[in-house]
Amino acid sequence: MAQYETIQHDVLVIGAGGAGLRGAIEAAGRGVSVGVISKSLLGKAHTVMAEGGVAAALSNVDDRDNWKVHFADTMRGGQYVNNWRMAELHAKEAPDRVRELEAWGAVFDRTPDGRILQRNFGGHRYARLAHVGDRTGLEMIRTLQDHATFERMSFYTEFTIVSLLKEGNRVVGAIGYQREKGLFFVFQAKAVVLATGGLGRAYKITSNSWEGTGDGFALALDAGAELRDVEFVQFHPTGMIWPPSVAGLLVTEGVRGEGGVLRNRLGRRFMFDDIPALYKNQTADTEEEGWRYTVGDKNARRPPELVTRDHVARCIMREVREGRGSPHGGVFLDIAWIKEKIPNAEKHIRAKLPSMYDQFLKLADLDITKEPMEVGPTTHYSMGGVRVDGDSQMSSLPGLFAAGECAAGLHGANRLGGNSLSDLLVFGKRAGEYAARFALETSLGRVSESAVNENIRQALAPFENGAKGRGESPYQLQAELQEMMQELVGIVRTENEMVRALDGIQKLKERSRSLHVEGNRMYNVGWHTAVDVGNLLTVSEAICRAALERRESRGAHYRIDYPDKSESLAKVNTTLHKGEDGAISVRLEPIKEMPAELKQIIEEMK
């Protein structure tokens, strides 16, 4: 009989990044007992890596901005396969969620008249991103963390959940282990909120930390909930590429928002060479007009560096492929050039992009106020995730909610920069609210002893393989998977490569049955990696299967065998489900008709 401790809560929040903390604060405020599972220490979640800002139509800098423009921008950026209800709620509620942070102690940069300052960002028509230099995510997570400390909730830090627990169709809790001693805990809960973030670790070059192993995606899928749109993986156009040890580290879009330009080896601003049809009307014709936009001229249109991330990433790939790349296989991102335009440019760059300045100086011996950076695409964000109801964030399983990156819908085929931080505030709050309501109307479910024992047995299997002295290294398996996904299911996709990837995943899955770890259960990172690899294999398969079904190119999903958009696929989402036999199936599901007033907004903003 396996040993474990049982803990009960009304609402269990899995994940302590922005979405999890915001959800937990909301639920606790509604008087229910809340437990928060944090895979790392508190305040270390990937939210701290968010740099550029949080998008909200506060209209502090440009009074032409309002929720309708933000809504239209989000839908255009997502190429209209977004959940329009979520895009509507997000645009309407983001300003209140940002102002609320200020009431909780966040200190955003200010306008000359003392209000929250906003900056330009890709795909946002007006200056919309509230920010703190280039460390907005840190400010947000610290504010939420400090605020949450005073709410009635229990934190379980350095815990990892290995499975959700069900009674019939309803989710009634979760089982996981505590990192420090390796002991197992069963959490019984009336409602469970997944807020586990992304899956970037499925790829070799990624901006994500070790935690981003798609846990929420895999937990939901394994429990029988549906995923949606997981073919849409965002490759951020500007990651560091040199030196090799920092490859993938994020370079904020804020660099371009502050006037940074992209050039190829020949010094050409190649983004002017290919401006997507959806953005023709909104993009500057000349470099001079682009600069005027950067400094706030309301009659100017945005420079082409500030179109959506999917497009910028592909243009960079094109330059590299056609031999016009930088020495280490990227392109140049230049912010130093603004010294031609403004006095005190060095000081300005250091004030607005302090952590980028430090990052390059300390890790690459490069002073960004003097020289251009070398950048290239890096796996950054999953637009897809757990399929949820737009209002309540409940998944297809009763009692299971999801918010933030691990939930699908808001971003469609491509996310706009800054919309992830507003996403986690708006929908973190909503998930917490509806989970609390659900919990108040229900009682604790029954946890199956045999399911618990089976989960523990599976989680510990790598130790038995270890005791036999033979088996696969979890580190090795993970590295092979990452190489393969990078190579075969990356920015440019095609059917035969993805079929090869599926075949490769199948082989890795078989090998993963003999994963082996040494040592004991105390803070054993090899064991943790073995658990994470299982999730990565599941989400990698899901990405491949959905990507094969979307036989077109849209947003972040680009296929050379179907390079154009398809009119019929413009009207569908991919929905994924795992059957009893463990097979993941994909179906194309029509998008619900948009109400007339939202259609009208999109028309007006074209």
Partner 1 sequence: MTATATFSIWRGDLQGGKLVDYQTEIVQGMVVLDAVRRIQADQANDMAVRWNCKAGKCGSCATEINGKPRLMCMTRLSDLSTTQPIRVEPMRTFPHIRDLVTDVSWNFAKKRTVRKFNPRKPDAADGTWRMAQIDVDRVQEFRKCIECFLCQDVCHVLRNHQLFDEYIGPRLLVYDAALVMHPLDSDQRLADLRHAHGIGYCNITKCCTNVCPEEIKITDNAIIPLKERVVDLYFDPLTRLFGGAR
The catalytic residues are: 236, 256
Q: How far is the CB of 33 from partner 1 (least distance, A)?
A: 18
Nearer to partner 1, 245 or 506 (CB): 245
Nearer to partner 1, 131 or 545 (CB): 131
How is 577-601 classified by DSSP, letter by letter?
EE-TTS-EEEEEEEPPPPPHHHHHH
Question: CA 564, CA 545: separation in Å to the nearest integer?
Answer: 20
3-state helix, strand, coil in the chain (%, to 5): 40, 20, 40
Q: How far is the CB of 371 from partner 1 (least distance, A)?
A: 16
Please choose, from the candidates 602, 518, 604, the residue with its C-alpha nearest in 3D space to the C-alpha of residue 91.
602
Q: How far is the CB of 243 from partner 1 (least distance, A)?
A: 2
Q: Are 88 and 598 in contact (CB under 8 A)?
A: yes
Q: How far is the CB of 516 from partner 1 (least distance, A)?
A: 9
Q: Which residues contact 523 (CB under 8 A, 6 or more apart)?
A: 179, 180, 182
Please choose, from the candidates 417, 424, 386, 572, the residue with its C-alpha nearest in 3D space to the C-alpha of residue 90.
424
Nearer to partner 1, 80 or 360 (CB): 360
Nearer to partner 1, 117 or 459 (CB): 117
Token reading at 328: 């280490």
Contact residues: partner 1, CB under 8 A = 40-46, 48-49, 99, 102-105, 107, 109-110, 113-117, 132-133, 135, 138-139, 142, 146-147, 149-150, 157, 180, 209-211, 242-246, 249-250, 355, 358-359, 362-364, 473-476, 479, 517-520, 522-527
Lookup result for tokens 């606790």: 28
Nearer to partner 1, 142 or 265 (CB): 142
Q: How far is the CB of 122 from partner 1 (least distance, A)?
A: 21
Q: Are 187 and 9 in contact (CB under 8 A)?
A: yes
Cβ neighbour number for residue 526 with a 10 Å cutoff:
17
Nearer to partner 1, 449 or 464 (CB): 464
Q: How far is the CB of 354 from partner 1 (least distance, A)?
A: 8
Nearer to partner 1, 180 or 449 (CB): 180
How many CA within 13 A on the CB side of residue 564?
3
How many CA within 13 A on the CB side of residue 477?
28
Q: Which residues contact 145 (CB under 8 A, 6 or more apart)?
A: 16, 21, 42, 43
Q: How far is the CB of 478 from partner 1 (least distance, A)?
A: 9
For 536-567, b/e burial (b = at least 16 CB within 10 A) is: bbbbbbbbbbbbbbbebbbbbbbbeebeeeee
Residue 302 phi, psi (nearest 5): -70, 150
